[in-house]
């Protein structure tokens, strides 16, 4: 049983997060991914913490990829990469638009000698818009596309100071949209025999993944009711033993308020004038949440509580840290956390695959490569002689190093 993408050859011109996250998914689905790393190295390598000489931020997004590090300012380096691109099924890059054109590696350049290639460009604002040259990082794209404003509006006065969300949503979601684009373009290539270029924008991605964007763009007044299905206003409660939980959806929302009343066996709350409308429930929210909290303290068993909440068609989740979740039975059952070689004689824990296939077998967790670790191996496959490889190393066309910063080997 082979992996779903077994035999797919991917050239990875990416760094930091959106691009590496995209190509990591392809690798974990079985593709042969070769990362092309510039002399300065992937900035992700300096992300903390480190184990020995390996940055764990880099490990999470790049384990399992082979690594070729060379300086594309040299004609010899460009010749090597062009030769590899001739055989590539997929090329992924997330530089600022136009960067690879300077090296003769833009889509039009590659298409001339490999018309079957699927070439995906991930960028902040696309390859041809008036904003194409703006630097784009997750926090800035999230700010531009309304996500940061949503966070601020949601937390309001609870924040002692304005701040961004803790996760790089724009990068990760864009990487996943890149995977979707690649799989779609590969399917199209099966029908037509031709590859194509796909332009993926972080900004457009952030709009597409905002499930409330359509409601917000309508400008319709909901008369105090939460928009969409109120998941964004789910509240956090504390049980009698101190454990904290959230119930998905807000009792401000009229359909959910009815379910809360049924869940608590409190039909009297339906008749309480303080909670008669969404506007009134919003105005009297502390009192309403106090009723829910008092009900929760009557439970000592999470299983019993979950049963009663489920009967009302609602869901409950415990507030856990990542480390706490990693120790749960579910994580062990799924294999959601795996051990990855840390290149220092031990292992580190990393997220496992989000897929379980009924017939295909996925590859084991990969080993993170040092910069340029596979230079000789990859070039030998291309019939480049040891003497030639040594010459390229001596002239710094090929580069390698183990440490994230400092001198090259």
| CA–CA separation, 94 and 285 (whole Å) | 46
Please write the tens of the pLDDT for every residue from 142-181.
999 988 888 777 766 655 566 666 789 899 999 999 999 9
Where are any strands of DSSP class E within 280-367? 316-318, 337-341, 347-351
Other C-beta atoms within 10 Å of 146: how many?
Answer: 17
Strand-pair category, 54-55 with 66-69: unpaired
Would residue 265 be called left, alpha or beta, if left means φ above 0 and alpha means ψ between -120 and 50 degrees? Answer: left
List the structure tokens of 113. 């000698």
Prior bond to 49 cis, omega within 30?
yes
What are the sequence ranges of the domains in the chain? 9-210+331-394, 244-318
Q: What does pLDDT average to over the chain?
A: 93
DSSP characters over 122-138: EESS-SSSTTTTS---H
What was the pLDDT predicted at 147?
86
The second-level CATH assignment, the architecture, of 9-210+331-394 is: 3-Layer(aba) Sandwich (3.40)
- Residue of 17, 35, 24, 87 lying closest to 353 (CA atoms): 24
Tally of CA atoms within 13 A in the half-sphere of 59 that contains its CB: 25
Mean pLDDT throughout 354-376?
96
Per-residue pLDDT of 282-341, as tens digits, reads 999 999 999 999 999 999 888 889 999 999 999 999 999 999 999 999 999 999 999 999
C-alpha 147/C-alpha 165 separation (Å) is: 9
Instruction: Number of helices (H) and strands (E) in the chain: give both, helices first.
Output: 18, 13
| Average pLDDT value for residue range 238-245 | 89
SS3 label, residue 92? strand
pLDDT of residue 300: 82
Residue 206 binned pLDDT confidence (cut-offs 50, 70, 90): very high
Structural element, H or E, at residue 387: helix 386-394
Distance of CA 176 to the CA centre of its chain: 6
Residue 55 has pLDDT above 80, yes or no: yes
Segment 91-117 shows an average pLDDT of: 97
pLDDT of residue 162: 64
Model pLDDT for residues 106-149, shown as the tens digit of each residue: 999 999 999 999 999 999 999 999 999 998 999 899 999 988 88
Task: Please report the pLDDT score of residue 104 as a whole number.
Answer: 96
- pLDDT score for 158: 58
What is the band of 51 on the pLDDT scale with cuts at 50, 70, 90?
A: very high
Query: What is the per-residue pLDDT for 405?
Result: 56
Give the Cα separation of 357 and 360 in Å (integer). 5
User: pTM to 2 decimals?
Assistant: 0.92
Phi first, then psi, for residue 260 (nearest 5°) are: -60, -45
The first and second tokens of residue 79, run together, are 């010749």
CB under 8 Å, gap of 24 or more: what pairs does 227-236 form?
229/253, 230/256, 232/150, 232/154, 233/154, 235/289, 235/292, 236/319
The conformational region for residue 78 under phi > 0 = left, psi -120 to 50 = alpha, else beta, is alpha
User: What's the pLDDT score for residue 148?
Assistant: 86
Q: Is 122:93 a contact under the CB 8 Å cutoff?
A: yes
Q: How many residues does the structure list for the chain? A: 409
Quick one: tokens of 301?
Answer: 């068993």
User: Residue 355 to residues 45, 64, 170, 360: CA-CA distances in angstroms?
Assistant: 27, 17, 22, 11
């Amino acid at each position: 049983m082979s992996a779903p993408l077994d035999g797919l050859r991917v050239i990875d011109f990416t760094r930091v997060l959106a691009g590496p996250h995209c190509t990591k998914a392809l690798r974990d689905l079985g593709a042969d991914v070769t990362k092309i790393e510039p002399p300065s190295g992937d900035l992700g390598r300096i992300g903390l913490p480190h184990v020995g000489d390996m940055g764990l931020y880099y490990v999470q997004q790049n384990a399992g990829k082979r690594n070729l590090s060379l300086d594309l300012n040299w004609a010899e380096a460009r010749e090597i990469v062009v030769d590899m691109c001739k055989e590539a099924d997929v090329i992924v890059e997330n530089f600022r638009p136009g960067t690879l054109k300077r090296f003769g590696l833009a889509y039009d350049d590659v298409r001339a000698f490999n018309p079957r290639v699927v070439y995906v460009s991930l960028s902040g604002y696309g390859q041809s818009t008036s904003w194409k040259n703006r630097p784009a990082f997750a926090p800035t794209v999230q700010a531009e596309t309304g996500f940061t404003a949503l966070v601020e509006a949601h937390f309001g006065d609870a924040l002692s100071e304005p701040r961004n969300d803790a996760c790089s949503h724009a990068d990760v979601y864009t990487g996943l949209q890149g995977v979707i684009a690649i799989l779609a373009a590969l399917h199209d290539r099966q029908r037509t025999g031709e590859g194509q270029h796909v332009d993926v924008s972080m900004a457009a991605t952030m709009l597409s993944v905002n499930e409330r964007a359509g409601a917000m763009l309508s400008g319709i007044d909901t008369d105090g009711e939460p928009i969409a299905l109120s998941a964004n206003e789910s509240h956090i409660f504390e049980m009698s033993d101190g454990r904290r939980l959230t119930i998905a959806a807000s009792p401000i929302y009229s359909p959910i308020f009815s379910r809360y009343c049924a869940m608590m066996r409190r039909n009297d709350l339906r008749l309480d004038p303080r909670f008669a409308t969404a506007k009134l429930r919003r105005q009297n929210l502390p009192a309403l949440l106090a009723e829910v909290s008092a009900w929760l303290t009557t439970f000592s068993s999470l299983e019993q509580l979950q049963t009663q909440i489920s009967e009302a068609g609602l869901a409950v989740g415990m507030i856990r840290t990542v480390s706490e979740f990693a120790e749960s039975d579910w994580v062990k059952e799924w294999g959601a956390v795996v051990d990855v070689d840390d290149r220092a004689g031990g292992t580190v824990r990393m997220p496992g695959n989000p897929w379980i296939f009924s017939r295909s077998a996925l590859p084991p967790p990969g080993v993170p490569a040092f910069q340029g670790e596979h230079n000789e191996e990859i070039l030998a496959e291309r019939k480049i002689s040891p003497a030639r490889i040594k010459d390229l190393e001596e002239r710094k066309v090929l580069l390698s190093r183990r440490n994230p910063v400092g001198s090259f080997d």
